[in-house]
Every structure is written in structure tokens, then in C-alpha cells.
Amino acid sequence: MVLLYTSPRFLQHHTGNHPECAERLEHILGHLGADGLTERCTLPQWLPAEDEVLESVHQETMIRSLEQLAKTGGGRADADTVVGPESFDVARLAVGAVCDATTRVLSGEDRRALCLVRPPGHHALRETAMGFCLFNNIALAAQSALNQGIERVLIVDWDVHHGNGTQAIFYDEPRVGFFSVHRWPFYPGTGDSDETGTGAGLGTTRNVPLEFGISQRAYREAVMRELEDFAARMRPQLVLVSAGFDAHRSDPIGSLGLEVEDFAWLTAAAMAIADSYAAGRIVSTLEGGYNPPVLAECVAIHLEGLL
Ligand SMILES: [Zn+2]
């Protein structure tokens, strides 16, 4: 089975006319339901993350300023990042989902989980929201795993954009391996192959920047080679996935030429790493993907792989 985290609350992070919109999740949930995938999963109940959890990664001033922005009717946290009146509470619920999934997977309740949350997280830095992301969901999940005694975590980020927030948060943390494959050069500008970590974390960041126009075959070869090598170095006890689907060829703001079936391949690759090193333990969370019908197909094939 797979633990599947969904909630109608995630539709209430209102962003207006914006690519990161509630329609994305509506399409996903409709598609998973029609395919009979939802009923094959366990649907846990969980609570929003407390301040103490948010503060394990983010600065208190950042948390309070997002709360204040939502309370006063909303606005923008940065040029691209909309905060509505409900967004702070919805973002807390998203963090709660990935942390609950991590706890349950580590306790052995199930080996795999998929968190279909909004807002996404991988651009959020310790000190600021960024790039459609309020809190860094995947970083908070990794931190929660460390707090539960896990010694080595691997984050696999296949969103088409570099996960700059996650990289920055763990750049000097030897217990968290960050692997990112992304379009390059592209937003947000970080993620060159010479960014490999610092201090005790030197060597625990691995970036695979790929140019637009790369063939699917070359994409797969690069990911396979680098991911297997990096996983052998990290020997993770838990695999976390920043699952963005905006590398699909028809994504309106991303695209790295991928097709739906490439996400089945990526899912299998991440699961193989989890099986080899982490007793199959894998927690995946939704990041980008901005063509709602195509996103829904990609998420369905991802979940089918996890099942
Ligand atoms: Zn993205």
C-alpha cells in the first residue's frame, strides 16, 4: 500500500491568475479517482505543523511575517509568490502532511507515501518564501527524520527547476544528501555541477544541470549514472522525493522534453535506490507541474509506480 495525503484544504491556498493554482490538484484528484488509484491507498488523518516544527528549518521572523501577511488579507511574499488569507494555515497543513508521512514510514506503518500538497516547497529558504513556495516541505521532512534518529537521508529532486532552497538549507549538513536534476541555465539560477556542499557537508550535494533540447535517452543516462553513484556515497536510510512534473515537454513554464512515461522511469529509479539502501522507505511530495491535465497523468503514473 501507499500512504496518500490529500485534503480539500489544499485547494484553499488561493493564488488568483497564477500557474500554481488549485486547478492543478483538482485535475490530479479527479484523475486518480477515475483510475481507481485513490482507493488502493491508505488515506491518513494528520495535523498542521506546529511552530516548533516550522522553526526546525525556518527563521521565526520569516514564519511570523507570512502569518501576518495572510492575516491582513494576503499579498505577495516575493515577486512570484502569492499569499492568500488561508495560505499560512494551508502551508502548515502541507508541512504537517510530509512530516506525518515521514514519521509513519519510519515507524514501519507503511514503506511508501505520496503527499499531494500545495503550496510546493523546494525554493523556500530558511529566511524567506520564494518561487511559489512558502515553507520548504521536503527540508522539514528531512529535518524531522534526523530528529527521529535517522543518520542519512537522500532527497531526490527531479522538478525542472533547481531546488535552491533545499540545497541551501542542507549545504553544510553531512546527514542529508541533496540530488537535483534540472534544466540549466534556468530559474532560479543556482544548481551548477560545481555546487557540491561545504564544510562537513562537502560532497553531499549533487547537481545534474541539463540543457534544454537534451534527448530523453541522454536525460535517463545522466540521471542513472549520477544518482546511482551519489546514492552509493550517501547510503540513505530514507529516500525523499521532490516530485515536480514540470520537466514534461508540454509544461507551460518548464519543460525539459520529458514524456509521461519518463516519470514512471524516474519513480522506479528512486524506488530502486530506496530498496537497495533504505528498506524501501520513500516519501514523495508534489512540487511543480503547471499543465493541469498533463500533471494529472504524470502524478497518476508516479503513484502507480509507488503502488
Ligand atoms: Zn518547478
Q: What is the tens place of the pLDDT at every residue in 136-165?
A: 999 999 999 999 999 999 999 999 999 999
State the distance from the centre of ligand 1 to the C-alpha of 119, rounded, in angstroms: 12
Cβ neighbours of 125 (radius 10 Å)? 21
Domains in the chain with CATH codes: 3-306 (3.40.800.20)
For residue 191, what pLDDT is reported?
A: 98
Average pLDDT estimate for 184-189:
98
For residue 3, what pLDDT is reported?
A: 98
Average pLDDT estimate for 43-68:
98
**Mean confidence (pLDDT) of the chain:** 98
Whether this model's pTM surpasses 0.75? yes
- Give the H or E element holding residue 207: strand 205-210
- Give the whole-number percent of the chain exceeding pLDDT 70: 100
Residue 178: phi, psi to the nearest 5? -115, 120
Per-residue cell: 208: 545534474
Are 191 and 182 in contact, with CB atoms under 8 Å apart? yes
Average pLDDT estimate for 86-107:
98
* Distance in angstroms (rounded) separating the CA atoms of residues 129 and 115: 20
What DSSP state is assigned to residue 242? E
pLDDT band at 300 (very low <50, low <70, confident <90, very high): very high
pLDDT band at 287 (very low <50, low <70, confident <90, very high): very high
- Give the whole-number percent of the chain exceeding pLDDT 90: 100
State the distance from the centre of ligand 1 to the C-alpha of 109, rounded, in angstroms: 30
pLDDT band at 15 (very low <50, low <70, confident <90, very high): very high
- The residues that are catalytic are 123
104: amino acid identity, one letter:
R
State the distance from the centre of ligand 1 to the C-alpha of 107, rounded, in angstroms: 31
pLDDT band at 106 (very low <50, low <70, confident <90, very high): very high
